[in-house]
Structure 1
């Protein structure tokens, strides 16, 4: 037994020394005693490959590359100890979930936290850490008394809960399971019994430090192995009793060196001769021997000395190596000074880049890699990308490298919750436990596992079923009770203007829907019965397994894998293949741990979900010649020529550790003070970041690319890391290259070459350059060559044509030709006034809604239009019932009006959206609130009736073919006929000296007013058109001509009265009346106004939008119009309608939404995803409409209306 240290700075050749030594042994004596190369788990593949590819070596019978855990299984296979059932990370977390649920009432702190996402992950991480540092539940109990109770109450409470859970956790594992963290302790115990270890030479490489468990194993190996040789990245040896300064760059490895040396001395293990691989005066370390700049970076990283050109500075080297010369220790075969002097200093050995964003950073990195490969300077396996936080770059790298066809392997573990199989499993239980909520049901359906493999039902069919379910509000027991489902409920209490199409009727057919319903319900209901019937965890796992088999999950996963492989996504293909085994492993772990325990479905699912949440997949590199993408703290690549370090931003490199565990940094310090030592805290981790950065930056032998982003994906500014400042101090002459997202006219043509590194990037940037050219800017001849290349390549023709067409694309649509327009609308255009208003707001919106008949997906919920329709129907019904009963509104008391309105709302509520107001307690509460609003409205309308002489003449008056009143009919300029149809909410009449007065009242659930400039532009035509219909047909309808008294809006609401000093009942009633003041336009006639508000003599009316002066005339702000002005309005409205009709039938479908001040047609438009209107896009401009005063509008209207905004 002996211990030999192999030390040297980064790049000194330690791994090469070990591999060469092993190779020599294997070649010299292939059948000799075992050789074990012990490395971290993630380095095993790389080191094994390095040995296997040795020329002249025909096998590795003697040598094995192992991690600590693989060594443990190898030793226990020989000595026994593998009889215990292994438990993986998922199994431990599921066991913790079970313990936390079982002891919830006994854990004051953890009882509520146990349900939080990620808590079990953190608790398991803490327990793993405690095991590595050999802390058991008994140790926690013993040290609790040292806290003194009151000094650290929160920490004491935490430790009590931790100790309580850990006690049971240890008890569950003891004598039954083999925890991954216990494996090393068992290894240490079994090493003395292992003949394999006793005969073996142990080489240890690529470690910077060891946990207490690993140190125990190392101690056992030192005592029983033939020899142990340990390599550490270290600048010098340390004497006995000497310790490294905490700011020392090599503090992690120096501490390890001192610990291991002290342990060897304690165990009386002989020390072998130190192997110190170092650079002598005038020489460089092997890795950077060809590149002076990289050597300078490695030598002066901790104490920056500016680069002065040439090779390394002899004085600085001799000062650093004086102790080495005195020791006379071994060295490696280093490059002679004469040969070094003959080598050129590579000017591009170190490059710094600042990219405008991360995408541009990765694009430039990919372009440089392609250049290296094409020029023969490197193969893919000679290059690597390193980042500190791989999450910031994973998706960008994946996209860019796939476009560039760069083979790569991303060395990080992936969670599986996103996988369709995991999502299907989770949604399955969510359906059972969540009362068959529609969103959960269709989460399950959209995973695709329910689709028949024969293709008889498609995803589109289930999409249509989802539309139906959302429209009808199907949920809960309605899925499973077997009762037929109803048709899609009507959206209105009114008679629909258009009947559903045949296609819509077939989609609502119960037979068609029932087939899809059963495809979902049958397997899930059967599983629900089986999993509920099974009492034990084993029985529930069996039910789940049978459910998977019934759905042919293994076959589907194989198909998904084949599809991904066909698309070239090898990583996703392997993920699909692994998912089945991963799921079975989780269920096996559950059966092993708690198989015979009885458990509710809810707890069973919680345990299963905990396993899925913690499941991470690590993939083996699928090929040898590929770029490695790795995180600095996980992977230590070897034999690299070119290294790309991305994301060197402040706060990212060096990383800022954060407290995200169960114990805070201060609490860890307290535990260390009382003798419970855990892993290094945040301060130590932050200091050790320097060493991590040092090993990363010195990993390549030919070039180093360092880059950072100036902004993140959201455009927020990012700063350069202190590492950039360090490199600038080391190499003052280094120029920082700015990486733009797109080439620009200020770049030289050679610089722009980087943007055509591969065809996808070239095509994308070509389009950008051509767009600049169209704007009148000059572009380099290079881009015309690129254009001609794509033109000459047949496989790019279609994409080139498509993309170049975007250069002249205007987001507009041409007018429909006459034949298409006639097919859509017919030669006789039958339309409503609201439809014409929609056309004026935006012709394309009208085309989408009435031409293409596009509709939003109907959802079973109470929306503002539904409430408005209820108000309309209730108030109309109230007035009708009064009229039919021969009663007058003004004669009713408030109590009678409220009782009558309540009765009407109760009758109407079940008819609204398939009884939606009765469906839940929430909607029943809303129904009561709506009832109060209707009560308030009828009482106010009763007060209106008392104050005037107007009485309802007609309610819900339809006009159109075969209706009480005929349509307004026009012959358009293009020969088409247009009929205006609709329904008038309420027509009131009163007798006067001038004749019969008529006014139109419309009920609105939102504040609405008649604005003359909106009438002028054609945005508000409804009320005036209704009045025109009445005036045009009055003689035939009433037998006499009538006088237009006004068009008014009544706002149905329940306003809140606010007063700082309170108010009397009478004052409150007056204020309430004012809140319901009618809006609109009234005939400028004192008699007419008195017929509506008899008490008004002067001043402002409480119920009308008018104000009367002392002399009986009207104030200028009164909403009134003379008889002549009413005629002008009527004439202009007719002109506007005819112009709109002509434009519709001529096929006008332009994307021209209006904008008036802050009001836009697009604000509430449902068709924005269809038209894709964007003001920044060429061809997209708003119809700019200006607000005008009343006088300006009257001037334009009376002038003939020849400049209407809609024309």
Structure 2
């Protein structure tokens, strides 16, 4: 068949050892074999070109071809040297003809300066400097469009080369799609991000790596982990992931049904309900388990087969069965047909190629090491490396496209214009790293011994000059050379030395700067060159209008572009949307009445903490209670979990030891009861997280010591006080033991204030029953009256108002306010320079547990709270201190009866104002600032509101501190306005 054939080899610059073997076989069989090579003179067998020769690569290939022909017994014909004065393809472009000759010498352009200007019709060279790689790519795209429109060129007449296509490939794809330029990216596409590759990787990582959460859901989200006939919806996968993150499912817990139970609410003392998720509007446990079982089944089968595998071939067979049983080939075929219908033939072909490549890789593994003993880790590693190396060949879907490639790979044929991008130092020519196993000296010795090797670092560095020659001489009409001054991260880049050499061959050639957007000071024509397509015109018109608002002049061309966009749909609608950004201020308009009614109803039910959240920032309240946004629940111990544990343990301990009024001073009993309460509650904290590891068990012991120590101090306080609990976790509201605090908001609207009071204490005085509120805090808290006036601290005073108001019905007798107190739940560390004896240490601990807050300025009431307090001493129980004359000191946190009434009215007034603002639809992004404090530092909705003090309309609601106590009481006594606001 080949005996009478004539073979031509063209477009090659060198050959591999296998290719030389093929050529030798052709020489033995064919009638004639001809090779065309790019070099300055012929080289025969045995000739060695100088290693610094520009054409070393092709000259070496010529010499080896001659030697191969002699070895095959072929007759060598005299070489035909094509050396015209000017290469035919440069006949119409003297500048490129000069550049080709200058590459191997130091010739200077003598054709006149006029042709060096890009505007000249015969200019064959442009050098462009761009601020960034994107600006560089967009400048090239604009020039392409100009040549197609004005010069009538075809897309196939132009090509783009980049030495570092890894930096420019995706960027050029994005820019060309944006500019509507058809293109073909020459190269084999990596398959590493394809769902099939991720499916195989993550499935193996899951069953071999211990069922890690991350690997499982990477596998599930490929949409390939579905047993035949049992597709799991993505919404079910998302719900399962939310549950797994909240319940801490990982490793062996995937297979332990005892770990899969309904997530409890934050209240540790509520009974768990198996279907509690469905009751709260989320998926039920039945639905979660169903999604889990469906997704786990194929992986469990794979794991079982891996365990039974004896050889590596068995492992390959097990993986192939997984792909078959999950209908992976059918899914890929479905995706391929879908992409074909969507006009994406390259993507459609990729799915089919990848399946063939994956199956071929399994076959190779079986052939290579099929009989080796089964080693799942080794198998997974080799398969991962093989998948990473898969490259998918692509062909252009049509001929009339811009070819994008690299000088060393891409072969161009008769292109008129070449855009050579990224001509920066270290990139072109490329800085070659010597990272091989052999040194250059060892390579030389092996080459002298006749061992054929791939080119080393030195040879590849010298070949960079030949690659530059190929790139610079590829076009026949115009060469565009450009470089960027910065990369994507803003790091500076340096232009290549090749730019300096080109300028030495063409003295006076200008270097034009390319910006990413039009510059107001440039000509109208230069600015409008950016408006090459309607989409680009839209973007740049809006950008120029924004700069015009900032004081820059607006050229007539942009006014014309604006009119063109306004007169045509859909550009008019898009322009309207973008123009709204010019007037953007990060502000929220009030909700419409019907929207507010839909969200909150005609009778607003709210807690006090909700109203405090509104005062902190109305939008934060709206996000939490209007939009009902919430953070994804995670398997970790957060401050709310610790607070719930403290409250529940102290409630149980107090209920057992104080409600029945046993001996309150037995510290040992308090310690033991508190420890027992914590032990009962630990399994209910965040799905048993405090029992899940040694680290968490250590944390649990620390928390238990804190509760025990605090409980002991509660017992000591009880021994010194006549106040006793009359209610623990007291609910008030529609379903509570007391009715809600109902306030009329006007316009027929009401607000019911509901809540749960941690602890209510009562004592009998000569004037009747006294009530106080006690709250447990995991951090030190004080009641600041200015924060009460601003509406930031209303909870405790509202609770006291509720119990005093409803005392006749709840307790059967009227009552008066005695105070509100915070107890810091902690285990203090004592710091002292000289040490403390036991008595001193006990006294120091008592001081650390002194409650903060506000109490009634009445000697009898204070004595009932601390019976050990003398008339000229400082209480270790409540924030009271007597002066020598028996009066309260200025440091005492007390208020007389009239002031308590002022507080009650101020709190109700504040609550009414807040409620009215809520139902009126106030959702303003206005976080407060009080001194250095702002809720933004701990707000979970910051990514939603995007509050930024630099944006128009974003300003903190500034609150000020009072000058003294008298001023804050003036604020509290005001009937209207918020006296503490700053203008």
Quick one: structure 1 residues 759 and 830, their matched pair in 2 at CA, closer, same or farther if it must change by over 3 Å? same
CA shift, 1:906, in A, is 1.0
Contact 1:840 1:1206 (8 Å CA) reproduced: no
For the residues of structure 1 that align with 2:229 and 2:388, how far apart are their CA atoms? 33
Selected match of 2:666 from 892, 898, 922: 892
**Structure 1 equivalent of residue 95 of structure 2:** 293
CA shift, 1:757, in A, is 1.7
Could you list the per-position Cα deviations for residues 374-414 of structure 1 after superposition, in whole angstroms to 9, with x for gaps in the alignment? 23443222222222222222222112212223222222333
CA shift, 1:874, in A, is 0.7
For the residues of structure 2 that align with 1:272 and 1:397, how far apart are their CA atoms? 46
Contact 2:227 2:298 (8 Å CA) reproduced: no
**Structure 1 equivalent of residue 182 of structure 2:** 407
> What secondary structure does 1:384 align onto?
strand
| TM-score for the superposition, normalised by structure 1 | 0.72
Contact 2:616 2:927 (8 Å CA) reproduced: yes
For the residues of structure 2 that align with 1:1074 and 1:687, how far apart are their CA atoms? 81
Gaps (5+ residues) in structure 2? none
> What secondary structure does 1:701 align onto?
coil
**Structure 2 equivalent of residue 1008 of structure 1:** 781
> What secondary structure does 1:972 align onto?
strand
CA shift, 1:576, in A, is 1.3
For the residues of structure 2 that align with 1:1121 and 1:199, how far apart are their CA atoms? 113
For the residues of structure 2 that align with 1:514 and 1:849, how far apart are their CA atoms? 29
Quick one: structure 1 residues 1092 and 363, their matched pair in 2 at CA, closer, same or farther if it must change by over 3 Å? farther
The reply on whether 1:379 has 2:181 as its aligned counterpart is: no
For the residues of structure 2 that align with 1:753 and 1:707, how far apart are their CA atoms? 21
Contact 1:527 1:543 (8 Å CA) reproduced: yes
CA shift, 1:583, in A, is 0.9
For the residues of structure 2 that align with 1:722 and 1:519, how far apart are their CA atoms? 61
> What secondary structure does 1:644 align onto?
strand
The reply on whether 1:1128 has 2:902 as its aligned counterpart is: yes
| TM-score for the superposition, normalised by structure 2 | 0.87
For the residues of structure 2 that align with 1:292 and 1:1081, how far apart are their CA atoms? 94
For the residues of structure 2 that align with 1:465 and 1:1043, how far apart are their CA atoms? 52
**Structure 2 equivalent of residue 1165 of structure 1:** 939
**Structure 1 equivalent of residue 745 of structure 2:** 972
Could you list the per-position Cα deviations for residues 249-274 of structure 1 after superposition, in whole angstroms to 9, with x for gaps in the alignment? 66666777788889999999998656
- Aligned residues between the structures: 978
Query: Within 5 Å, which residues of 2 pair with 1:947-1096?
Result: 950-961=723-734, 963-989=736-762, 998-1034=771-807, 1037=810, 1044-1056=817-829, 1072-1073=845-846, 1075-1076=848-849, 1078-1083=851-856, 1091-1092=865-866, 1094=868
Quick one: structure 1 residues 1016 and 655, their matched pair in 2 at CA, closer, same or farther if it must change by over 3 Å? farther
Higher mean C-alpha displacement, 705-714 vs 1110-1119: 1110-1119
The reply on whether 1:416 has 2:191 as its aligned counterpart is: yes
**Structure 2 equivalent of residue 310 of structure 1:** 112
> What secondary structure does 1:386 align onto?
strand
**Structure 2 equivalent of residue 1150 of structure 1:** 924
Could you list the per-position Cα deviations for residues 809-835 of structure 1 after superposition, in whole angstroms to 9, with x for gaps in the alignment? 554443333333233322222210011
CA shift, 1:571, in A, is 2.8
> What secondary structure does 1:1163 align onto?
helix
For the residues of structure 2 that align with 1:991 and 1:249, how far apart are their CA atoms? 107
CA shift, 1:590, in A, is 1.5
> What secondary structure does 1:624 align onto?
coil
**Structure 1 equivalent of residue 136 of structure 2:** 361
For the residues of structure 2 that align with 1:276 and 1:233, how far apart are their CA atoms? 9
**Structure 2 equivalent of residue 649 of structure 1:** 424
Could you list the per-position Cα deviations for residues 876-932 of structure 1 after superposition, in whole angstroms to 9, with x for gaps in the alignment? 11111112443244x123x43332221111111223334343345554343233222
Selected match of 2:372 from 572, 594, 597: 597
For the residues of structure 2 that align with 1:751 and 1:414, how far apart are their CA atoms? 37
Contact 1:1100 1:1107 (8 Å CA) reproduced: yes
Contact 1:974 1:1142 (8 Å CA) reproduced: no
The reply on whether 1:712 has 2:514 as its aligned counterpart is: no
Selected match of 1:883 from 647, 658, 662: 658
Selected match of 1:391 from 155, 162, 166: 166
**Structure 1 equivalent of residue 30 of structure 2:** 199
CA shift, 1:419, in A, is 0.6
Contact 2:113 2:508 (8 Å CA) reproduced: no
For the residues of structure 2 that align with 1:496 and 1:770, how far apart are their CA atoms? 62
Quick one: structure 1 residues 369 and 1076, their matched pair in 2 at CA, closer, same or farther if it must change by over 3 Å? farther
> What secondary structure does 2:776 align onto?
strand
The reply on whether 1:862 has 2:664 as its aligned counterpart is: no
**Structure 1 equivalent of residue 688 of structure 2:** 915
> What secondary structure does 1:579 align onto?
helix
CA shift, 1:960, in A, is 2.4
For the residues of structure 1 that align with 2:159 and 2:641, how far apart are their CA atoms? 61
Higher mean C-alpha displacement, 1189-1198 vs 363-372: 1189-1198
Could you list the per-position Cα deviations for residues 14-60 of structure 1 after superposition, in whole angstroms to 9, with x for gaps in the alignment? xxxxxxxxxxxxxxxx99543141655xx9xxxxxxxxxxxxxxxxx
Could you list the per-position Cα deviations for residues 193-235 of structure 1 after superposition, in whole angstroms to 9, with x for gaps in the alignment? x465453544445xxxxxxxxxxxxxxxxxxxxxxxxx24458
Query: Within 5 Å, which residues of 2 pair with 1:716-727?
Result: 716-727=491-502
Quick one: structure 1 residues 707 and 1126, their matched pair in 2 at CA, closer, same or farther if it must change by over 3 Å? farther
The reply on whether 1:34 has 2:24 as its aligned counterpart is: no
**Structure 1 equivalent of residue 402 of structure 2:** 627
Contact 1:379 1:625 (8 Å CA) reproduced: yes
Query: Within 5 Å, which residues of 2 pair with 1:655-694?
Result: 655-658=430-433, 682=457, 685-686=460-461, 688-694=463-469
> What secondary structure does 1:393 align onto?
helix
**Structure 1 equivalent of residue 125 of structure 2:** 350
Selected match of 2:326 from 538, 551, 565: 551
Query: Within 5 Å, which residues of 2 pair with 1:793-872?
Result: 793-794=568-569, 796=571, 798-808=573-583, 810-872=585-647
For the residues of structure 2 that align with 1:1162 and 1:500, how far apart are their CA atoms? 36
CA shift, 1:504, in A, is 4.8
CA shift, 1:1124, in A, is 4.5
For the residues of structure 2 that align with 1:938 and 1:668, how far apart are their CA atoms? 79
CA shift, 1:304, in A, is 6.1
CA shift, 1:682, in A, is 4.8
For the residues of structure 1 that align with 2:947 and 2:772, how far apart are their CA atoms? 40
CA shift, 1:740, in A, is 2.6
Contact 1:875 1:934 (8 Å CA) reproduced: yes
For the residues of structure 2 that align with 1:1159 and 1:1022, how far apart are their CA atoms? 19
> What secondary structure does 2:759 align onto?
strand
> What secondary structure does 1:876 align onto?
helix
CA shift, 1:839, in A, is 1.4
Q: CA RMSD in A?
A: 4.4
Gaps (5+ residues) in structure 1? 1-29, 44-66, 70-131, 133-182, 206-230, 313-339
